[in-house]
Amino acid sequence: MYLRIQPTSEIPIYTQLIYQIKKGIIKKELMPGESLPSVRSLASDIGINLHTVNKAYKLLVEEGVLVQQKKGFRVNPSVDLMMKEDQFKAFREKLEELMIDARIFNVSDEVLMDLKTEIMKTLKESDEDDVV
């Protein structure tokens, strides 16, 4: 899996790392039960502080996306993850912020739907690649 971290972004590196890992799971670059690189190894590979990687991994464990074992972290083997109430509330707040920006900047519902379709397509491309 290729991680794309932008050190100059306003988005904290641990947040970028969280979403890169989630994207890897969605695109099936990381499979349920698969081990992730060790905290030290990943930090070294992408040139960031090991505490940043540890924070991202721990937050993914709290969300249920990863599980922690004696020998590191693995993608949760359970396929059916459910959002907890606090996660759903945070999700709704993020979506509301996006919708506010869409209205302020006059982004039409059609453009929003086109963007959603485009993003969903890029997240499913690896699924289609698997079909023989």
At 132, is the secondary structure helix, strand, or coil?
A: coil
* pLDDT tens, residue by residue, 57-108: 999 999 999 999 988 999 999 867 888 899 899 999 999 999 999 999 999 9
* Token code pair at residue 23: 């994207």
pTM, two decimals, is 0.81
CA distance 119 to 127: 14
Taking Cα atoms as reference points, which of 95, 90, 28 lies closest to residue 59? 90
* pLDDT tens, residue by residue, 20-49: 999 999 989 999 999 999 999 999 999 999
CA dihedral over 53, 58, 60, 65, signed as positive or negative: positive
pLDDT at 18: 96
